């Protein structure tokens, strides 16, 4: 088993069109939640989301190639380019492409393509469907398009486990690199879910906020959807040191579990099990962890359940932990959420700055941890974890250490 490190990071999010801008906005506590601008809000109950603003596909892709890409693939491809460029890996020159894995998580895949095809078929009664509909909307399209663009022919697949998709993708990539199944990996998550069909479906569940996202706050009213992508390059510590790469963080461990209970109500025991497994996998003691990037959706059920799970695992050390939910700034990007939140976790380890939980008003008696309310905090941390707990009771937690 080899030590695994992260040497590249790329992002396209509501907070910025690259990883640097995204992390800077997190540090500043900038909130990207607002009225939806990409489609009419008529008929929507609330009509708010966290959208990626100012993203011009023609600035990144030839017009003749855009026909192949749903927005979910566009975001993933741009994030992957940034991550690979930062890593400095030359897959062709090093003969690395043959054994580099690509694993990208997504909750709904090419939903804009699906939404448009359904509108034409059912709304306009138009029986003609675009011949590239399937290759645009399939969940593995982002992973496949990254492989094609960078000539990566190692293990490649998509993960789709709702809100835990990105963390599951990163965990699988980590395990492949650590075990030697792959020499390197490009992994993360992408989601482009701001469509009429998705928004209406989530509104029907009565879990959406009508004002903003206020995780762990007594005044929280629910979650707010977001979109975006974040992608990372993973390789062994030995390889990274040999070639003099800049190491962003050590990827120490990953833990996964299934609640096997309610399809939507979270389980304290299931979440705690995933956290415990991540720490054990990474050889990290509970007293080493200084920061937790929480799942923190802002719903009445999730936040107290996650808080109790943290207390169950960390015991008395829970009172010394800093916990925050960056969803309060970039919304809940479903299958990309864990990847965007890994940007925050890496930033906390590298810079010693803990991103805040924004929009916080009053504490909730059921959420009794330190949530870094409303302003970033300078505090060096040696180790951190990032939680993702999905509908369906599927949990994935990542454990990281500061770069060696």
Which residue numbers are catalytic? Answer: 163, 295, 332
Distance CA 30, CA 356 (A): 10
Written in H, E and C, the secondary structure of 11-41 is EEECCECCHHHHHHHHHHCCCCEEECCCCCC
Q: Which residues contact 380 (CB under 8 A, 6 or more apart)?
A: 290, 352
CA distances, 341 to each of 5, 108, 281, 292 (Å): 17, 18, 20, 10
Distance CA 312, CA 310 (A): 5
164: its two tokens: 């835990």
Q: How many CB atoms lie within 10 A of CB 127?
A: 7
Distance CA 161, CA 310 (A): 22
Distance CA 232, CA 367 (A): 32
Q: What are phi and psi of 220, to 5 degrees?
A: -65, 145
Distance CA 169, CA 94 (A): 25
Beta-sheet strand order (sheet of 4-12): 156-159, 100-105, 184-191, 228-236, 4-12, 249-258, 394-401, 383-390, 289-293, 322-324
């Amino acid at each position: 088993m080899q030590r695994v490190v992260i040497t590249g990071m790329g992002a396209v999010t509501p907070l910025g069109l690259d990883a640097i801008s995204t992390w800077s906005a997190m540090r500043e506590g900038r909130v990207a939640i607002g009225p939806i601008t990409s489609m009419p809000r008529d008929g929507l109950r609330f009509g708010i989301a966290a959208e990626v603003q100012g993203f011009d596909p023609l600035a990144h892709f030839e017009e003749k190639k855009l026909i192949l890409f749903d927005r979910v693939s566009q975001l993933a491809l741009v994030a992957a380019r940034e991550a690979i460029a930062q890593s400095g890996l030359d897959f062709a020159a090093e003969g690395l492409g043959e054994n580099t894995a690509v694993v990208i998580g997504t909750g709904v895949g090419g939903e804009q393509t699906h939404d448009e095809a359904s509108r034409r078929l059912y709304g306009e009664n138009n029986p003609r469907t675009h011949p590239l509909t399937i290759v645009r909307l399939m969940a593995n399209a982002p992973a496949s398009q990254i492989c094609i663009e960078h000539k990566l022919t190692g293990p490649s697949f998509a993960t789709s486990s709702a809100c835990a998709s990105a963390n599951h993708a990163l965990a699988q990539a980590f395990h492949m690199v650590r075990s030697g199944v792959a020499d390197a990996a490009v992994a993360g998550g992408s989601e482009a879910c701001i469509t009429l069909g998705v928004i209406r479906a989530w509104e029907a569940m009565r879990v959406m906020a009508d004002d903003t996202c206020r995780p762990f706050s007594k005044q929280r009213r629910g979650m707010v959807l977001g979109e975006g992508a974040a992608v990372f390059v993973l390789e062994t510590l030995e390889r990274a040191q040999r070639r003099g790469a800049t190491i962003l963080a050590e990827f120490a461990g990953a833990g996964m579990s299934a609640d096997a209970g309610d399809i939507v109500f979270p389980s304290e025991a299931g979440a705690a099990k995933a956290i415990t497994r991540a720490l054990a996998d990474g050889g990290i003691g509970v007293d080493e962890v200084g920061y937790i990037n929480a799942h923190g959706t802002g719903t009445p059920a999730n936040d107290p359940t996650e808080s109790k799970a943290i207390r169950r695992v960390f015991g008395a050390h829970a009172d010394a932990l800093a916990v925050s939910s960056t969803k309060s700034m970039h919304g809940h990007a479903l299958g990309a959420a864990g990847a965007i939140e890994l940007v925050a976790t890496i930033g906390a380890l590298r810079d010693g700055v803990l991103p805040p939980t924004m929009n916080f008003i009053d504490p909730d008696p059921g959420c009794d941890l330190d949530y870094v309310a409303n302003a970033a905090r300078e505090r060096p941390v040696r180790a951190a974890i990032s939680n993702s707990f999905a509908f369906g009771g599927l949990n994935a937690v990542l454990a990281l250490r500061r770069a060696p």
